[in-house]
Each structure stands twice: as C-alpha cells, then as structure tokens.
Amino acid sequence: MVSLGTEGAAAAAPSGRQLVPADLLSLEQYARERPAFRARVIEHKRARTVGVGPNTTWCFEDRVTIQYQVQEMLRAERIFEARGIQDELDAYNPLIPDGTNLKATFLIEYTDPDERAVALTRLRGIESCCRITVGDEVATAIADEDLERENDTKTSAVHFLRFELSERARSFLAAGAPLKLGIDHPAYNHSLEVSAATRAALLADLAP
C-alpha cells in the first residue's frame, strides 16, 4: 500500500490510469490520513461539480474522485482481503475517464420526497438527453453501462454517464473552445457554458 503523502497518490498519477491495489491505503493508513485526504478531495471536486438547471448536478469523475469512493467503500464495509479489494476496483475503475471521454455521476435532486417521486416519473429518459458541446461537435450521453437504472414508469435519481468526445472536439477544446453542458428533455431543458476552472479540470481528463 502507498501513502497519499502531502499531495496524494491519486493526484500525482495520470488521470486516465486505472487504480490497482498498490494505489490504495490499508484501512489503518486510511483511518489516519482520511481527514486530510477528504478535505483535498472536496476541494478537488469543486470545479468538477456543475449544476445544470435547478434540479440536476453533474459530478465529473476522475482518478482522484474514484480513489476516494473506493477507499470509502473499503472503510465502510471493512474490506481488507485481496479479492474484495479487487472487486471494488473492478466496479469503480470503469468510471475513470481514459483520455477520449468524460465520465460523470448525474444526480436528479429534489428536497421534497413527494415532488421527487413525481419528477422521476416525468423525467423518464433524461439520462439519455444529456449532451456536451464543444464548438459544433456534440457528444450525447451513453448512460448506465453497468446496469439499468430506469424502469417502465420512472427513472432513477442517480445515473452514470459517459461522453465520447471526437478527436475534432478534443482539438477544439485544447485550442480554447468553450465547453457547454445541456439537457434536451421535454420536461427539463437547460444548458450552460462551464466556468474556466471546470473547463481546465475536464480538459485534463482528455490528456493522453
């Protein structure tokens, strides 16, 4: 196991490289380093979290955010055996972008449970209506590749999205083109241009 040190093991590694057991802290090490690591991850996620409209949040994942999720899962479930650790890595590694795509956890958020229940019915299919636009290039979300999160009556409040950006779109972004997020659903139509900080963070996900 490796220590996160001052900057964090995940932060020092290429964003597209998948995690292996040697990248993770033991439960004992993580217990010691968790407060500092958690604070760094919260700050790291700030530029990677974008609200699109009043009721959806896109949390763009990378190696740092996924290491945190794995470490938290190992801690919560008290997993320390090699097979269990590998199972968690196998579950979460697909959420790390690989250099040609952006990956996000998509949250539908309503504070009132009754309102949320109605909205999840009304918003069925929204996960496939999400898009990223760079210049005149549009990448539409590929949703929930791990398992189906929608049924015949309603969608889920949480989805996992992958956006494959063409070489042309990646070139536009590297050249300074704005990056826009949008949702084109009959019951929820919103879009925005991301901040400079978010754009820089996501551009790093597309590094070779």
Q: 68-105, pLDDT tens digit by residue?
A: 999 999 999 999 999 999 999 999 999 999 999 999 99
Residues 6+ apart with CB under 8 A from 154: 117, 120, 121, 124
Q: Indicate the DSSP class of residue 116.
A: H
Domain region containing 72: 9-47+62-95
What is Dmax (Cα atoms) for the chain? 50
In a domain, 143, yes or no: yes
In a domain, 54, yes or no: no
Q: Assess whether 106 and 88 both reside in one domain.
A: no
Strand order through the sheet with 130-134: 137-140, 130-134, 179-185, 188-193
Q: Assess whether 91 and 155 both reside in one domain.
A: no
In a domain, 4, yes or no: no
As given in the structure block, the two tokens for residue 149 are 């999160």
Give me the number of domains the chain comprises: 2
Q: Assess whether 141 and 78 both reside in one domain.
A: no
Q: Assess whether 35 and 116 both reside in one domain.
A: no
Summary mean pLDDT of the chain: 91
- Classify residue 208 by burial, with Cβ atoms within 10 Å: 0-12, 13-18, 19+: exposed
Q: Tens digit of pLDDT for each residue in 31-73?
A: 999 999 999 999 999 999 999 999 999 999 999 999 999 999 9
Continuous segment of H or E residues that includes residue 107 = strand 101-108
Fill in the amino acid letter for 53. G
Q: Assess whether 109 and 91 both reside in one domain.
A: no
pTM of the model: 0.88
Q: Are 19 and 64 in contact (CB under 8 A)?
A: no
